[in-house]
Amino acid sequence: MTSATTASAGAGAAGPAPRSPRAQAVVDLDAIRSNVARLAAATTAQVMAVVKADAYGHGLVPCARAALSSGATWLGVALLDEALALRSAGVGGRVFSWLLVPGDDVAAGVAADVDLSASATWLLDDVAAAARGLGRTARVHLKADTGLGRGGATEADWPSLVEHAVRLQADGLIEVVGLWSHLAWADAPGHPTIARQQHVFAEAVALAEGLGVRPEVRHLANSAATLTLPGAHLDLVRPGIAVYGLSPVPQDSTAEQLGLRPAMTLTARLALVKRVPAGTSVSYGHAWTSERETTLGVVPLGYADGLPRVAGNAGPLLAAGRRRTIIGRVCMDQVVIDLGDDPAGAGDEVVLFGPGDDGEPTAQDWADATGTISYEIVARIGPRVPRVHRGGDR
C-alpha cells in the first residue's frame, strides 16, 4: 500500500499516485483450478463447473477454461446466450444450458453442440424442430420438479414429458442424455426436504427408465450437496459457488475448512483524502457524523458497481492497514470511510474483499454485514469494474 502523504499533514494537498485503475476485481485462476480439483477429489461422479452469470461475476471464458483444465468435464450455464458465448470463444467440453424461454434461438444451441434442458413438451417440440432443420440429433436433459417449485415438470406432468421425449427420440430428433433436478435445502445439511427430494427424483428416474430412457447422466447435487451429501452425487455433480472458493454452507463450515480458496479480490484506489473537523456529516441524509477531527477517504465504488446499498454504515473494508466500515450511505459511484489519524493519500489501495490473507474482509464478511449470501456479493460486481485474471491458461 502506498502513501502519498499523512493525514495530519493535510493529505488532500498532495497529488495523486501514478495512474492506476480506479477499481478492479482480480481473479485468481489458480484458486479456481485448486477449488475444482478439490471438488473433483470429493466425488467419483463427473464434475460440471457452473459458470453462469459471467462465472458468478468472475469472468465467463477464463474461468471456464480454468475449470476444464483442472478436473471439470462439463460446464453449466443458465442462459443459452452464455453457452453460445463459450462456443464462440472456442471453449470445448460438454456445455449444458437449462433456462430456455420462448423465442430463444434453439437451433443455434443445437448447432453449437450444447446440451439443452426441457421441462415442458413445447420446448421438446422446439428442440426437435431445430434438430430436424439441421439434420442432426439434439441432446436433451429432462428436468423433474422434485420439490423446489421452480423449473422442472411436476410429478403430474412428468410422465407425459417423458413419453413425448421418447417419441421424439424414436424419430431420431433428440437423445435424452440426462435426467435431473435441483435441491431446495442442500445448504442446510440434514433438512428433511433433502431426503424427500432424493426419493421423488429416484421415482422420476425409475419411471423414465421404465419408458425406455437410458440416460448418460443423472444429476441432482449443487455445491452444498457435492461437499456434504455423497449420496446425491449420482453420475454428475454441479458445483457453482464452491468453484469460486466460497462456502455454500457458511453456517457450518468456512471456505478454508472446506479446502476452498476465494478467487476474487475487489480493490479500489482512494479518490480523495481530506481532514475534517468534529461534527462533519457525511453524504446523503447525513447518516454519519464525526465525533472528532478526523480524515475522510472517498472510495470510488458504489451501488452502480455492485456494492449493496444496504452496506451503508456496515460494509467492511481494509484501508491504511486497518479494517474499517463504510460511513454514511452507499452512493451510486462512491462511498466514504473514516481513516482517523492514520497516514493515507489519494491513490492508496483499499481492499473491499478478498481471501482474507492480509486481514481484509471476505465476500462472506460482506454477506454477513448486509444480510445476504456470498453468491450475491461477487455476482453483482458490475461491468464498470474490470476483471484482471491472474494465473493464465494451462
DSSP 130-147: HHHHHTSPEEEEEEB-SS
For residues 91 and 84, give the distance between their C-alpha atoms in angstroms, rounded to a whole number. Answer: 10
**Phi, psi at residue 346, to the nearest 5°?**
-55, 135
DSSP secondary structure letters along 243-256? GGT--S-TTT--TT
350: left (phi over 0), alpha (psi -120 to 50) or beta: beta
Burial category of 203 from C-beta neighbours within 10 Å (exposed 0-12, middle 13-18, buried 19 and up): middle
3-state DSSP helix/strand/coil percent for the chain, to nearest 5? 30, 25, 45
| Bridge partners, 28 (sequence order) | 390
CA atoms in the 13 A half-sphere facing the CB of 1: 22
Q: Which residue bears the cell 425406455?
A: 212
What residues are labeled active site?
52, 284
CB 77 within 8 Å of CB 97: yes
* Residue whose C-alpha is closest to residue 243's, from 27, 25, 23, 26: 27
Q: Which amino acid is at 313?
A: N
Q: Are 294 and 48 in contact (CB under 8 A)?
A: no
The C-alpha cell that represents 349 in the structure block: 489501495
Nearest residue to 1 via CA among 358, 366, 380, 388: 358
Q: Which residues contact 244 (CB under 8 A, 6 or more apart)?
A: 32, 35, 55, 56, 58, 63, 262, 263, 264, 378
| 229, 186 contact by CB (below 8 A) | yes
Helix, strand, or coil here: 189? coil
Query: How many residues are present in the chain?
Result: 394
Beta bridge partners of 366: none
First to last CA, the chain: 31
